[in-house]
Amino acid sequence: MATSSIKKNFVVSGADQVEKFANAIEESYQESLRSAPASDLKITHLRGADEVKKFMAKRKKTNA
């Protein structure tokens, strides 16, 4: 759930309410992990011109 979708202020007070609120947040987070599609993405972080040049050289070799 995006935080921008929360449009109402609410107050959580008392140990019981705080515990319930924390559990609800944790449950929501765990549900989002279960429903997220698996990803087969490969990510390459490039830092600096030399790394970019090496990466592009590899790319040209595989496409040739």
Collapse the DSSP code of 45 into the 3-class scheme (helix H, G, I; strand E, B; otherwise coil) and give the result: coil
Q: DSSP secondary-structure letter at 48?
A: S
Please tell me the predicted confidence (pLDDT) of residue 24. 92
The C-alpha atoms of residue 44 and residue 47 are separated, in whole angstroms, by: 10
**Is the torsion defined by CA of 3, 5, 10, 16 positive or negative?**
negative
Please tell me the predicted confidence (pLDDT) of residue 44. 84
Q: Tens digit of pLDDT for each residue in 2-61?
A: 566 667 787 889 999 999 999 999 999 888 888 777 778 888 889 999 999 998 898 777
Least Cα distance to 12 among 27, 24, 29, 30 occurs for: 24
Least Cα distance to 48 among 39, 40, 56 occurs for: 56
